[in-house]
Structure 1
Amino acid sequence: MNKMMSDKKVIALYILPSLLLIMALVYIPIFMTGYYSLMKWDGIGTMKFIALDNYKQLIKDDMFWRSAYHSFLLALFSVISLAGYLAVSLVLSGKIKGANVLRKTYLIPMLLSSVAIAQLWLRIYHPSNGMLNHFLTSLGIDDPPNWLADPSIALYSIFVPIIWQYAGFYILIYYAALKNIPSSIIEAAVIDGANPWQLAYKIKLPLVSGVIKITVVLAVVGSLKYFDLIYVMTGGGPNGASEVIASYMYQKAFRSFNFGYGSAIAFSLLLICIIITWLIRKLTRSNEEIQY
């Protein structure tokens, strides 16, 4: 068996199916998107090669930069929310009553589809029949806001269900990392006189720093390419107030039938995600690797 697994031909044979699948589902679509971005094409007729004209138009497109700002704002809120998820995980990883019930409760949003979550929050935000405005009215607020129709707050209103949707996912990751810390390390710190704050800040957080870096990358990249819930709830409106890069790409490619320009937006988004990921890894790189 060992001799067979050391044969390079056998190794290549095992790798080939997954490699072909990745090529078909990932690399070929990326290549085709880059190719289409150099064309003027409505998705049906003849393609016309226009070189980098789509990218030149992109640089001058105010709506693209506005949607990019919204995407980066969502990424910022998502990263900030990670601190809350980590705090909840620190509490749940301790010996508290009802921790199992709370963990299951936090996982519920992750089990729902984005469309179901969007429909739920559309009813919560409904201006006349929504639960939120009913609650504000009961507090004496006679004119509660129209959450998804007011351009000044529509974007931030959408951030709430997005952050709520992924709470269970990140809490689960942090909880698993914290529970993976050997109990002997925690017990030794307690014997040395560490209080709960010192235990969390000086012992637990450094030991899960690698996981924290991964979740930051996931949160940022996931926010930059986020689309489905925003599309269902507002479609990028009102008047582009909640437009993000992915929804703007969809609008240009599948509503305006400008597949060349939509592909340029999609390819630019890919490059932005790669650069952001590289920067995060560069800024958080550490020569010291904590082992336990």
Structure 2
Amino acid sequence: MNKIMSDKMIIALYTLPALMLILVLIYVPIVLTGYYGLMDWDGIGQMTFIGLENYRVLMTDSMFWRSAYHSLLLAVFSVLSLIIYLAVSVVLSANIRGADIFRKVYLIPMLLSSVAIAQLWMRIYHPSNGVMNRFLMSIGIDNPPLWLSDTNIVLFAIFVPILWQYAGFYIIIYYAALKNIPKELVEAAKIDGATPLQIAYKIKLPLISGIIKVTIVLAVIGSLKYFDLIYVMTDGGPSGASEVMASYMYKLAFRTNDFGYGSAIGFFLLVLILLVTYFIRKLTASKDDNVQY
């Protein structure tokens, strides 16, 4: 077996199917998206080369920059929510009473599709029959908010189910990382008189710092390209108040048949994600950091 695996031709043959699959499903679409972004095309008829005109329009498109702001705002909230997920994971890893039940409950959102979650929260936010407004009316608020119709609050109302949807994903990552910390270190700290807060802050968090950096990158990338739940709940409305870059790109490409401009936005989004990922890595890098993204 060692002799076979040392043969470069055999290694090339083994890896070729996976490389071809990656090439066809990832790199070819990226190249085509960049190519289409240089065209004036409705997705069916003749393509006309217009160079960087789509990108020039993009730079002055107020609706695009508004959607970009919403995506960046979602990214900020997603990163901040990691603090809550991490705190919950620290508590769960301490083997407190009732932790087993909670470990099962927080996985429920991961089992549901985005469409099911959207339908659930649309009913929660329903103006008259929703759980949220019924509760507010029960405590004396006669005119509760129209959560998905008010341009001032719709974006933040949508952030709640989005963050709830991915809570289990990040909690299980942090929980697994915390459980891999050697118990001897924790026991030694307890013998030395360290409090639970000191153990969490000075021992556990530094040991999983690499995982935390990875989840920050995942949260930011996921937020910048987020689409499905927003599309189902509000379709970017009302009046673009919940529009994000991915939903705006979808509307341009598949509703107005402006595939050239939609592709330009998609390629710009790819470049933006790469740049943001690079800067996050630079900001969180340390001398002894060996984590590879």
- Asked if these proteins are the same fold (TM beyond 0.5), I'd say yes
Aligned to 1:52: 52
Number of the residue aligned with 1:262: 262
Alignment-mate amino acid for residue 154 of structure 1: V
Residue in structure 1 matched with residue 31 of structure 2 by the alignment? 31
| Equivalent AA in structure 2 for residue 12 of structure 1 | A
What code does the residue aligned with 1:175 have?
Answer: Y
Deviation sequence 1:118-166 (CA, Å, 0-9, x none) = 0000000010111110000001000001000000001000000000000
Quote the offset at 1:44 in angstroms: 0.7
Pair 1:68-2:68 in alignment: yes
SS of 2:107's equivalent in the other structure is helix
Look up the match of 1:170. 170
Provide the aligned C-alpha RMSD in A: 1.0
Post-superposition CA distance 1:95-125 (Å, at most 9, x none): 2112121011001001100000000000000
CA distance in 2, matches of 1:138, 1:205: 42
For residues 141 and 218 of structure 2, the distance between their equivalents in structure 1, rounded to whole angstroms, comes to: 39
Rounded Cα–Cα distance in structure 2 between residues aligned with 1:289 and 1:214: 12
The 3-state SS of whatever aligns with 1:264 is helix
For structure 1, which segment, 191-200 or 205-214, has the greater mean C-alpha deviation from structure 2 after superposition? Answer: 191-200
| Amino acid in the other structure paired with 1:37 | G
Work out the CA distance in 1 between the residues paired with 2:283 and 2:153.
32
Give the alignment of 1:1-292 within 5 angstroms: 1-289=1-289
1:229 maps to a residue whose letter is L
Cα deviation for residue 66 of structure 1 reads 0.3
Segments ≥4 residues shifted beyond 4 Å = none
Code of the aligned partner of 2:26 = V
Letter matched to residue 243 of structure 1: E
Q: In the aligned structure 2, how far is the partner of 1:175 from the partner of 1:73?
A: 27
Unmatched segments (≥5 aa) in structure 2: none
CA distance in 2, matches of 1:193, 1:253: 62
Q: CA deviation at 1:288?
A: 2.3
CA distance in 2 between partners of 1:44 and 1:151 (Å): 35
Tell me, in whole angstroms, the C-alpha distance in 1 between the residues paired with 2:91 and 2:250. 41
Which consecutive residues of structure 1, in runs of 5 or more, have no partner in the other structure? none
Write the letter of the residue equivalent to 1:201: Y
Distance in structure 1 (CA, Å) of the matches to 2:95 and 2:53: 60
With normalisation by structure 1, the TM-score equals 0.98
The AA in structure 2 aligned to 1:71 is S
CA contact (8 A) 1:89 1:175 kept: yes
SS of residue matched to 1:238: coil
Deviation (angstroms), 1:39: 0.3
Shift of 1:78: 0.3
Match for 1:112: what amino acid? L
Question: Aligned in 2, Cα 1:102/1:62: closer, same or farther, shift over 3 Å?
Answer: same
CA drift of 1:229 comes to 0.1
Shift of 1:172: 0.2
For residues 134 and 37 of structure 2, the distance between their equivalents in structure 1, rounded to whole angstroms, comes to 48
Deviation at 1:289, TM superposition (A): 4.4
Instruction: Tell me the TM-score normalized by structure 2.
Output: 0.98
Q: Aligned pairs, how many? A: 291
CA distance in 2, matches of 1:289, 1:80: 22
AA of the residue aligned to 2:82 = L
AA aligned to 1:67 is: S
Query: Percent of pairs identical after alignment?
Result: 69
Aligned-partner residue type, residue 69 of structure 1: Y
Per-residue displacement from partner, 1:235-288 (whole Å, max 9, x unpaired)?
A: 000000000000000010001100000000000000000000000001111112
8 Å Cα contact 1:207/1:290 also seen in 2: no
